[in-house]
Structures are given as C-alpha cells and as structure tokens.
Amino acid sequence: MDCMFFLILTAITSNPGTGVIQASVISRPKMISRAECLSESNLLDEIRKLSSGLSQTDFGEMKKLLLGEANQSSICRQRVISAVLSRMKTRPTEQADFLLWQHGADILGDLKAVEAIDHLVAHLDVSDGLSPSMSHYPAARALIQIGSSALPKLANALSQSSDPYFRRKALFCIAQIGGQQAARALKDASHLETDRCNSRFINTSIRAFKNRDFPNQITSRTRAEWYSAFLCRK
C-alpha cells in the first residue's frame, strides 16, 4: 500500500434543526489559411456539445480536438475562441448552462485566451451557487489560468466595480495569479479599497506574498489563513 486516506465517519447523520497551473502548453500557432481550419458546421457541432452532459472522458476528447484545432493557426485559434465565447453569452440559469460555462472556461483557460479576458472579468461572479469555494466560479478559474495577462483588467475591475463581493473575487484571482505585477496591483488596491473584508483580504495576501520560498505567491503554509480572509466571516 503506497498511499492511504484516513477515514473518519464519526456520525452518519447530523441533527436536523436550525439551518444551521499549470495550463496546457500551447505552442504558437503558425499562420495558415482559414481553409485548413475545421469547417464552420463541424466547429459549431463540437461547441454545441459543451452544454450536454458530457462525461469527463468525452469532454477530454472534445477539448483535445478543439485545442488541436486552435493550434493549427492563429485564424483557427481565433475561430475556436469566438465560437466558445458565442456560446457563453448568457449567464447560466440551469445545469446545462453552467456546464457550458464550466467546460467553455476550461478551454479558454487552457488556450490562455487573452481575447476572452473582458468577458471573463465581466462574469467573475457566475457560479453554480452550490458552494462559496472559488472552484465553483468558472470565469475566475479561467482568468487564473490565463495568468498575468489578465492582471490589468482585473486591477481595473477593482477600481470600476461598486460591488465589494465582485471586487473580492477579482482580488482572489490577482493573488492566486501572483508575481510582482500582482503584488503591485494589491498594493494599489490597498489604498483604494473601502470594504473592511476586502481590506483585510488584501493585507493578508500582501503578507502571504512575503515569503522566502515563493515570493509573491500564496504558499501552502499561509493558504488556510489567506482563504479564511477571502471568506471573511463577519
């Protein structure tokens, strides 16, 4: 036995009562004509599948096809990104829509689709509403995968949005992306932020960035405290 889980099932029913990146490496596409790209109808057929109940295996195969297509040329890449974005126009209201967002954002993140940054930042708050964990926020996840290219727009969202919860999600992405540019964005935000929880989250992030092992990154050692500051229990 080389690995183990510790299983503690101390109770099986609670008391009823009060409601109590690494992204895939995408090589630079070569310039070839549009004729060598997947046909419009084939591309749309693939993109339509995003909102169906794809198994992870089926989604993996579809993603491989689309990433391969995007790698054919800059024109093919642009067509894939546009087609995915066109399916992510509306906010999800049911599971099929959310699956579309989850799968679509996964592809955009793997493609490091800087073309999608504006749309993703505008939809940072899209979630399935099942958990406050940021793994349920597909746009945030994609922006983190895109990385430092997303930082200027995320920093801009901090100064533009009047919604403190929206700003906190942008701060989460900035801190999770990390690096010197992120550190500067957090420092700038610390002078502007008016929400108490967000100010605390910024300060906790800046403190967490000051470590020897991985400067300007959130490390495993400080992650629990950092995540608590993000959730901000008032």
Partner 1 sequence: MAFSGSYQEGKPNGGGQIRYGSGLAYGVGFTVFGSVSSGGIGHIMKDTNLKNPGGAWTIEQWTSGYTNINGSVYLKGGPAHADLNSTVPYEINGNEFRWYDHPGLEDKDPQSSRNPLKSYEGRFDIAVKVINGAQQCEVKFRISSTFSNGNWSHSWGQLN
Q: Does 212 bind partner 1 (CB under 8 A)?
A: no
Radius of gyration of the chain (CA): 20
Site string for partner 1, 109-148 (x = CB under 8 A): ------------------xxxxxxxxx-x--xx--x----
Site string for partner 1, 50-69 (x = CB under 8 A): ---xxxx--x----------
Q: Does 214 bind partner 1 (CB under 8 A)?
A: yes
**At closest approach, how far in Å is the CB of 219 from partner 1?**
7
Q: Does 191 bind partner 1 (CB under 8 A)?
A: no
Of 141-180, which residues contact partner 1 (CB under 8 A)?
141, 144, 164-165, 168, 172, 176
Q: How many residues bind partner 1 (CB under 8 A)?
A: 63
Q: Does 7 bind partner 1 (CB under 8 A)?
A: yes
| 46 CA to centre of own chain | 22
| Residue closer to partner 1 (CB basis): 127 or 204 | 127
If residue 196 lies in a helix (H) or strand (E), which one and from where to where?
Answer: helix 196-209
| Contact between residue 231 and residue 194 where contact means Cβ atoms under 8 Å apart | no
Looking at 146-223, which runs of residues are DSSP E strands?
none
Taking the C-alpha atoms of residue 38 and residue 63, their distance in angstroms, rounded to an integer, is: 14
Q: Does 20 bind partner 1 (CB under 8 A)?
A: yes
Q: Is 41 helix (H, G, I), strand (E, B) or coil?
A: helix
Torsion of CA 25, 30, 35, 36, to 10 degrees: -50
Taking the C-alpha atoms of residue 175 and residue 151, their distance in angstroms, rounded to an integer, is: 10
| Residue closer to partner 1 (CB basis): 39 or 55 | 55
Burial (Cβ within 10 Å: 0-12, 13-18, ≥19) of residue 162 = exposed
Taking the C-alpha atoms of residue 220 and residue 224, their distance in angstroms, rounded to an integer, is: 8
**At closest approach, how far in Å is the CB of 20 from partner 1?**
4
Note the residues at the interface with partner 1 (CB under 8 A): 1-22, 53-56, 59, 94-95, 99, 102, 127-135, 137, 140-141, 144, 164-165, 168, 172, 176, 197, 213-214, 217, 219-220, 223-224, 227-228, 231-234
